[in-house]
Amino acid sequence: MMQFEYYFIWSNVSLVIFYLFYLLLLRGETFFLFNRVYLLVALCLSMLMPFLDLSWLMVLPKVKLVTSTFTVVEVGKLGNTVGKQLNWLLLVYWIGVALSAIRLFLKIADVRKQIMLPKDGDAFSFWKIKVIDQKLSGLAVINAHENIHVRQLHTLDLLLVEMIGIFFWFNPIVYGYRKSLKFIHEYLADEYACNFAESRKQYAMLLFLQNLNAGPTLANTFYTTSLLELRIKMLQRKKSNRYRLWKYVLCLPLFALVALLCSFNSSGFSSNDHKVDQAASFPGGFEAFSKYLIQTTKKVSDKSGKVSVSFIVETDGTVSNQKVENSLDEASDKEALRVIKLSPKWKPALQNGEKVRSGYQIGINFKADNQLDK
């Protein structure tokens, strides 16, 4: 079972890496359609990559399953223990999710209100709906601009970012994606609308002289004060040379690299068994490890059953890449991971006389009585 914390760590890391790549290499190019596709793919891959399992690409020796059955020590009443273990950060997170969802609902309500009750000077579009004051000067140009927003489904881009923003409200990079996509939408629409003006200079003057109402924040609007300067500068910028398209080829190895990083941290070791000359061992042997587990583990649930945890014993003996393979319940899973993470250094595995990383899997049986299974 994929851990909640693991998913959010790696999805956020992916979002940051992909957006930094965009800022450093792609943002200044005039290949607006490519930039739009890149940002949308980056958003989607960041949500999906932590689910990928490419561990079969990395071969590690794997130790056979060892099962330890023991009784955890109950500390006070179960209800009190569970109450103390309440993660306040998780509470803050879900409060943020709720507030972000309400915020999106209000944005949509604002769009609906302005569509139903248009004002003089309105010029915006949402989904397949255009709201344009027919009295505006340069009406043909404005209409062409909004047609591109509608035809290219720019609203879907914004809704995607808004939905991701609900669950990743704490990550400022998400708002960077939203801002960049809005820029690209306007650049695409401006590029097309210029064909309906006498020249780019005349179109830029139209943008500069218009003093329209600000459209809803979730809509694509013809006039936006905050974007005006950048839009005019982009209109005057020389088109990027075709040879600069090589930058987009670099996206492929970048995506592959991030996918491998997510996967290796997810699975920890290969599913293939490879023999080692000497398996990794806990100081004092398995009995000492069982004693360590009994002394360290606390009772956090009233359920009995087994939690299987996999981990890597590194060449220096440290334990890493802990992952629940078979779950009992959330509280028991977290406790099993906590105990494994706190483990003292092991004696690393040996293969051909050299220390090697090795995968290890152990099943911990949580029982309600005070007797160990022999």
Q: Within a domain: residue 250?
A: yes
pTM for the complete prediction? 0.68
Looking at the fold, whether 233 and 130 belong to one and the same domain comes out as yes
Looking at the fold, whether 328 and 182 belong to one and the same domain comes out as no
Overall average pLDDT of the 188-204 stretch: 90
Looking at the fold, whether 223 and 313 belong to one and the same domain comes out as no
Q: Choose the weakest-confidence range: 184-188, 272-276, 352-356.
A: 272-276
Q: Within a domain: residue 70?
A: yes
Residue 78 — pLDDT band, cuts 50, 70, 90? very low
Q: Within a domain: residue 373?
A: no
Tell me the pLDDT tens digit for each residue of 274-316. Answer: 566 788 888 888 778 888 888 888 878 778 888 888 888 888 9
Total tally of structural domains belonging to the chain: 2
Looking at the fold, whether 332 and 302 belong to one and the same domain comes out as yes
Q: Within a domain: residue 224?
A: yes
Alpha helices for the chain (secondary structure H): 4-21, 32-48, 78-84, 88-116, 139-151, 154-167, 172-193, 200-209, 225-236, 246-249, 251-267, 285-296, 330-341
Written as one letter, the residue type at 110 is D
Q: According to the model, what pLDDT value does residue 64 have?
A: 40
Looking at the fold, whether 220 and 324 belong to one and the same domain comes out as no
pLDDT greater than 60 at residue 4: yes
Looking at the fold, whether 281 and 353 belong to one and the same domain comes out as yes
Looking at the fold, whether 363 and 284 belong to one and the same domain comes out as yes
Looking at the fold, whether 286 and 337 belong to one and the same domain comes out as yes
Enclosing domain of residue 78: 58-84+268-367
Q: Within a domain: residue 147?
A: yes
Q: Which residue has the tokens 């693991």?
A: 6
Looking at the fold, whether 189 and 318 belong to one and the same domain comes out as no
How far apart, in whole angstroms, are the C-alpha atoms of residue 209 and residue 69?
77
CATH number at residue 325: 3.30.1150
Q: According to the model, what pLDDT value does residue 67 have?
A: 42
Last residue of a domain, one of 238, 258, 278: 258
Q: According to the model, what pLDDT value does residue 9 have?
A: 87
